[in-house]
């Protein structure tokens, strides 16, 4: 059934829980929220009662109008398998020897790579995206999204070192830092190493790509005025959860990926904490929320295993908030590009979402917290990693020197 609640910002939120499906959406009026909820429940009822012949006759437009393929899958209906049942049966009938002898033309003739993956058959002619998805599912590695979008749908055996080099050069031209490029290279190398072990490629071509080393670390920290301007801009964002996300990043130091994969079942409102079960270093960590964060969380509180920050169109995936973040920075007059002096020297570094984490660690350092405490809150395995985030301000350095002189009675 649907539940309509009013929000403090004047909007209305519709929460639907029907036949195991949980979904919510925010609207400027109660009537719009009620209409959407009724239509969504009606779509669920309609889809549940469709027979196979009716499902096969649905057009793409009709499927989108009824909630998209995601809703069908949530109701246990795999439209892809229904449409390609005959071809899938033919693929299932192939032996391992038959699969090894298939050419790229044979695979396309039988329905394409996606059908073979759907059938659970291993073939050499997999696309980069397909191998990445298998890699993530098998090893629970970090998301590769954005690492190599240009060749996502290329057959892996068709990608050569020139494609990789061109991709790296493009990142350099876009002004990406060497440390960022090296991280990208590391992810790609891991994927190719996996593909090599599965027989999808003959060599790890990433190992032959050289990137110059760069030890410089980004040290952009917001001033108090900039911080308030950014939070005000986030509160006015078209995405109503940007303020909550940025507030959580500022006050917990959590990584973007950790926050975007948080689920409501991970949050404990009694203890004001949340458990991060999937972190960058592979260990779980507890986040502690300030009262202002808890207050904001309660505005959107849900029951279940849904994401805190789900995509509006694909609720099982995290929200892509890049546009909302960019607009907020622009509104707050905070540059998302490096600023240079007339002589070409760097005047001010661009501000990225990850800089919020740096600001968290720096604020704890400025408040006199021990480095091991900062490392624990930030989730660093090594204290050396924590040291990269810390800086001492001029006044703090002067105070340390004055205290030392006093200790020496000078």
The Cα 337–Cα 164 span in angstroms is 25
Task: Verify that 121 and 195 share a domain, yes or no.
Answer: yes
Task: Verify that 126 and 204 share a domain, yes or no.
Answer: yes
The answer as to whether 410 is a domain residue is no
Of 208, 232, 263, the last residue of a domain is 208
Distances (CA, A) of 27 to 7, 238, 298: 10, 12, 18
Task: Verify that 174 and 132 share a domain, yes or no.
Answer: yes
Task: Verify that 25 and 171 share a domain, yes or no.
Answer: no
Indicate which CATH number applies to the domain containing 192: 1.10.150.130
Of 150, 180, 208, the last residue of a domain is 208
Task: Verify that 182 and 299 share a domain, yes or no.
Answer: no
Predicted TM-score (pTM) of this structure: 0.49
Task: Verify that 34 and 138 share a domain, yes or no.
Answer: no
Question: What strands lie across the sheet with 267-268, from one edge to the other?
Answer: 267-268, 273-276, 285-288
pLDDT of residue 58: 87
The answer as to whether 219 is a domain residue is no
The answer as to whether 241 is a domain residue is yes
Task: Verify that 334 and 262 share a domain, yes or no.
Answer: yes
Query: For each of the chain's 410 residues, which pLDDT tens digit applies?
Result: 688 988 888 889 999 888 888 888 899 999 999 999 899 899 999 988 989 888 888 888 888 888 888 888 888 888 878 888 888 888 888 887 787 677 767 877 887 777 887 777 766 666 777 777 777 776 554 444 444 444 444 667 667 777 787 777 777 766 677 777 888 888 888 888 888 877 777 788 888 887 765 444 556 788 889 999 999 999 999 999 999 999 999 999 888 888 999 999 999 999 999 988 766 666 778 899 999 999 999 999 998 889 999 998 888 899 999 999 999 999 999 988 777 777 766 677 788 888 898 888 888 877 777 777 878 787 777 776 677 666 555 555 566 566 666 666 65
Distances (CA, A) of 208 to 117, 165, 181, 204: 29, 10, 15, 8
The Cα 171–Cα 2 span in angstroms is 47
Task: Verify that 271 and 370 share a domain, yes or no.
Answer: yes
The Cα 155–Cα 163 span in angstroms is 12
Task: Verify that 152 and 232 share a domain, yes or no.
Answer: no
Total domains in the chain come to 3
Q: Which domain holds residue 197?
A: 85-208
Q: DSSP secondary-structure letter at 93?
A: T
Task: Verify that 236 and 375 share a domain, yes or no.
Answer: yes
The answer as to whether 403 is a domain residue is no
The neighbour count for residue 117, using CB atoms within 10 Å, is: 18
Task: Verify that 230 and 348 share a domain, yes or no.
Answer: yes
Polymer length in residues for the chain: 410
Whether the CB-CB separation of 299 and 289 falls below 8 Å is answered with no
The answer as to whether 161 is a domain residue is yes
Task: Verify that 187 and 143 share a domain, yes or no.
Answer: yes
Tokens 């096969």: give the residue. Answer: 56
pLDDT of residue 171: 76
The answer as to whether 361 is a domain residue is yes
The Cα 191–Cα 185 span in angstroms is 10
- Write phi, then psi, for 58 (nearest 5 degrees): -65, 135
């Amino acid at each position: 059934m649907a539940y309509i609640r009013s929000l403090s910002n004047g909007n209305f939120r519709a929460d639907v829980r029907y036949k195991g499906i949980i979904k919510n959406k925010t609207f400027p009026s109660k009537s719009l929220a009620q209409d959407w909820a009724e239509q969504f429940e009606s779509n669920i009822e309609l889809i549940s009662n469709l027979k196979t012949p009716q499902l096969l006759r649905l057009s793409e437009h009709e499927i989108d109008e009824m909630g998209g393929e995601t809703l069908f899958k949530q109701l246990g209906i795999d439209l892809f398998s229904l449409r390609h049942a005959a071809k899938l049966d033919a693929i299932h009938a192939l032996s391992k020897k038959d699969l090894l002898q298939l050419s790229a033309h044979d695979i396309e003739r039988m329905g394409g790579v996606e059908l073979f993956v759907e059938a659970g058959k291993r073939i050499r002619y997999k696309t980069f995206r397909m191998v990445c998805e298998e890699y993530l599912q098998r090893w629970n590695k970090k998301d590769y999204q954005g690492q190599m979008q240009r060749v996502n749908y290329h057959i892996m055996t068709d990608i050569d070192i020139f494609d990789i080099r061109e991709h790296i050069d493009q990142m350099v031209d876009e002004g990406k830092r060497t440390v960022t490029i090296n991280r990208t290279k590391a992810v790609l190398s891991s994927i190719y190493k996996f593909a090599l072990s599965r027989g999808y490629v003959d060599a790890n071509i990433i190992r032959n790509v050289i990137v110059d080393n760069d030890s410089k670390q980004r040290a952009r920290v917001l001033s108090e005025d900039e911080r308030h301007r950014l939070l005000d801009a986030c509160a006015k964002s078209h995405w109503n959860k940007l303020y909550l996300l940025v507030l959580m990043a500022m006050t917990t130091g959590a990584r973007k990926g950790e926050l975007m994969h948080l689920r409501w079942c991970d949050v404990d409102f009694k203890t004001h904490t949340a458990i991060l079960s999937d972190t960058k270093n592979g260990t779980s960590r507890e986040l502690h929320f300030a009262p202002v964060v808890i207050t904001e969380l309660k505005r959107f509180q849900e029951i279940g295993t849904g994401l805190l920050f789900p995509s509006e169109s694909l609720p099982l995936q995290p929200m892509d908030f890049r546009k909302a973040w960019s607009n907020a920075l622009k509104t707050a007059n905070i540059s998302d590009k490096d600023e240079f002096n007339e002589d070409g020297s760097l005047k001010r570094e661009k501000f990225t979402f990850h800089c919020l984490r740096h600001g968290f660690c720096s604020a704890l350092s400025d408040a006199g917290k021990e480095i091991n405490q900062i490392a624990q809150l930030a989730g660093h395995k090594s204290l050396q990693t924590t040291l990269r985030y810390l800086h001492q301000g001029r006044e703090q350095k002067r105070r340390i020197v004055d205290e030392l002189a006093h200790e020496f009675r000078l």
